[in-house]
Amino acid sequence: MNDSNNLLLELSEVARSYPEPAGRIPVLTGIDLSVKSGEWVAVTGPSGSGKTTLLNLIALLDTPDCGSIKLNGREVARLPEDRAAELRSRQIGMVFQLHHLLPQCSALENVLLPTIPAKIDGQTALERARSLLCRIGLESRMNHFPGQLSGGECQRVAVARALINSPSLLLADEPTGALDLHATDALLELLAGFHRDGMTILMVTHSERAAAAAQRRYVLGSGKLVKA
């Protein structure tokens, strides 16, 4: 950790627009956001307000037009792709609205996938994957394929996959968007458990129920974040 106030993520004046035939369409126009290590922050906002655009920038999957993104005090907004990929693989876990598990791989294999580019020793990776699958309540279904699991179970596997490399930051894009009430609560309880253990979570969501589980809330609108 770089400084005394424990800032894990710091965005300053981040802007992103997309090119359109009629000119560039501004989506994010000046995002300021600070997340301390161990916090759980939720961002809500209407469809099309730029929530996924924001998470993609923080996940180093996209580059802002201008502004600064610091992770652990280090500027990361404009890293060469190989260094961004390496940092993403070690420091950032990501969960999407639709779990994006590989259908031809078992739950265990899906959770193990991110350990390959991260070059984690095979036995260590296997032990950690098994332990995470137990933690998410799927100890008896590790060898099932996504098609044999419920939507809620698949999403819990996606959380385990996001956490397998022990990232500093868990990003979640509408993690409960495709789930019913029961599965939503199970997923939120799971996230709450990892948060209690110290995980830093930044989640974007339409769900009032999901946002209420976070410690701090922001609303994204007109290209800016405001405290809820």
Ligand X SMILES: Nc1ncnc2c1ncn2[C@@H]1O[C@H](COP(=O)(O)OP(=O)(O)OP(=O)(O)O)[C@@H](O)[C@H]1O
Q: What is the C-alpha separation between 80 and 59, in angstroms, rounded?
A: 14
Q: Which two tokens stand for residue 200?
A: 């830093």
Q: Contact region for ligand X (CB under 6 A) — 41-49, 99-107, 137-145, 146-154?
A: 41-49
**Residue 181, phi then psi, degrees to nearest 5:** -60, -45
Please state whether beta strands 200-204 and 169-173 pair in parallel, antiparallel, or not at all (unpaired): parallel
Does the protein bind ligand X through residue 223 (CB under 6 A)?
A: no
Does the protein bind Mg ion through residue 53 (CB under 5 A)?
A: no
Binds 48: which of Mg ion, ligand X, none (CB < 5-8 Å by kind): ligand X
Answer positive or negative: Cα dihedral of 125, 178, 215, 171: positive
Q: Which two tokens stand for residue 71?
A: 């992770």
* Residues contacting 125, CB < 8 A, separation 6+: 112, 115, 164
Our CB check for ligand X shows the closer of 48 and 198 to be 48
What does the per-residue mask of binding to ligand X show for 83-112, with x meaning CB under 6 A?
------------------------------
Does the protein bind ligand X through residue 52 (CB under 6 A)?
A: yes
Q: What is the C-alpha separation between 52 and 188, in angstroms, rounded?
A: 20
CB of 203 to ligand X, least distance (A): 12
Does the protein bind ligand X through residue 47 (CB under 6 A)?
A: yes
CB of 17 to ligand X, least distance (A): 9
Give the DSSP per-residue string, 75-143: E-TT--HHHHHHHHHHHEEEE-SS----TTS-HHHHHHGGGTTTT--HHHHHHHHHHHHHHTT-GGGTT
Which residues, numbered 128-167, are part of the site for ligand X (CB under 6 A)?
none
Q: What is the C-alpha separation between 173 and 161, in angstroms, rounded?
A: 15
Does the protein bind ligand X through residue 207 (CB under 6 A)?
A: no
Q: Contact region for ligand X (CB under 6 A) — 40-48, 77-85, 110-118, 131-139?
A: 40-48
Does the protein bind ligand X through residue 45 (CB under 6 A)?
A: yes
Our CB check for ligand X shows the closer of 53 and 176 to be 53
Our CB check for ligand X shows the closer of 21 and 48 to be 48
Interface with ligand X (CB under 6 A): 18, 27, 45, 47-53
